[in-house]
Amino acid sequence: MTTNIEIVEVSARDGLQSEKEFVATADKLALITRAIDAGLRRIEVTSFVNPKRVPQMADAEELVRMLPAHDDVRYTGLVLNYRGFERARALELDEIGCAVVATEAFNKRNQGVEVAETIKQWNQMADDAHTANMQAHIIIGAAFGCPFEGEVSTDQVVNIAKQVAKAGPSEIGLADTIGVAVPKQITEVINAVKNEVPDIKLRCHLHNSRNTGFANAIAAIDAGVEVLDASIGGIGGCPFAPHATGNISTDDLVYMLDRSGIETGVDLNKIIETSLWLETVLNKSVPAQVAKSGIFPPINQELRRARNRIWIID
C-alpha cells in the first residue's frame, strides 16, 4: 500500500451540481477557499456545460475569474464537448477533465452523442489543451455498472481506456458513478486497465450510494491507485443517473487514511469545520459520518458542540 494519496476535491462541482436550489457564487468560492485552507491542492471547481441542463453550473466563468491565485493549487474544470473546452481554455484554467461513459445508453443521456464521438472530441480537446499548456485527463464513467444497461464488462472499460490513452492524458479515471462496485471488482478492473496502459496514472472516482465506497477506496489503493476523488461532506451525485447519490466524503476518507498511516496533507479538523458550515449553506445535514461522530481520539470537542448548535442530533 502506498504511503501518500492525492485527493481531488470535487464538492464545488460534482458535490453541488444536483442541488435544486442555486448555491450562490460567493458560497462556492468560500467552499473552494476553505478546501485550500484545509490543505487540498487539486480542486475541481466547476463544469462547462449547458446551464439549461445543469443550472447549478451557470456561473462557471464568473466563479473561475474569482478564484484565488495559488502557485501550488491546480484548478480543474469538467468539459464534455469542444464548446465546453473552448470556455475553459479562454479562462486559462490549469486543467480540464473530460468524461466518456462506458455504455452507449448512459453516454447519450449524459453527453448527447455516442461513445465513439465523445472519444473523437476528447482526442481533439487533449491535443489543443496540450498546445495551450493545460493538463488534460479523462474519466471513464459508469466503469463498474450502468443504470441503463446494467453490468459493464471489464473488457468494455479496458477497450475505452486503450482508445483514450492515445491522446496522452495526464490520468485516466475510473468512476463508479452510481455506487454499485465492490472491492473485488475494483481490483479486477484497475489491474486490467493497468496491464494495458501501464504508463498512465490511474485515478478513482467513487460513490458511497450502497455503503461500499470506502472499502472500494482501500481496494483501489491496494491496487496501486494514487489519486482519489472525494467531496467535503459527502455531497453530490450525477443528475443524469437515477439514484446516483453520495460521493465518498473527504471527511471520512481523510479520517480513514490518517488512521491507516497514509498521508494526504489535509487538515481533518478544517474539513469538518467546512462540512458544518456547508450544512448551513445547504440548510440540511450532510452525509459525512466523521462530521457527526467526531475525530478519534477526540481532538477538538468544540466542533462537536458547534454541530449541536446547528442540528439536533439523536
* Residue carrying C-alpha cell 473530460: 98
Among candidate residues 275, 237, 238, 235, the one with its CA nearest the CA of residue 255: 275
Hey, what's the cell of 98? 473530460
- Pick the catalytic residue from 98, 146, 204, 238: 238
d(CA 77, CA 81): 12
Hey, what's the cell of 93? 484554467
d(CA 252, CA 215): 12
d(CA 204, CA 223): 11
SS (H, E, C) the chain: CCCECEEEECHHHHHCCCCCCCCCHHHHHHHHHHHHHCCCCEEEEEEECCCCCCHHHCCHHHHHHHCCCCCCCEEEEEECCHHHHHHHHHCCCCEEEEEEECCHHHHHHHHCCCHHHHHHHHHHHHHHHHHCCCEEEEEEECCCCECCCECCCHHHHHHHHHHHHCCCCCEEEEECCCCCCCHHHHHHHHHHHHHHCCCCEEEEECECCCCCHHHHHHHHHHCCCCEEEEEHHHCCECCCCCCCECECEHHHHHHHHHHCCCECCCCHHHHHHHHHHHHHHHCCCCCCCHHHHCCCCCCCHHHHHHHHHHCCCC
**Does residue 204 have an active-site annotation?**
no
Catalytic residues: 238
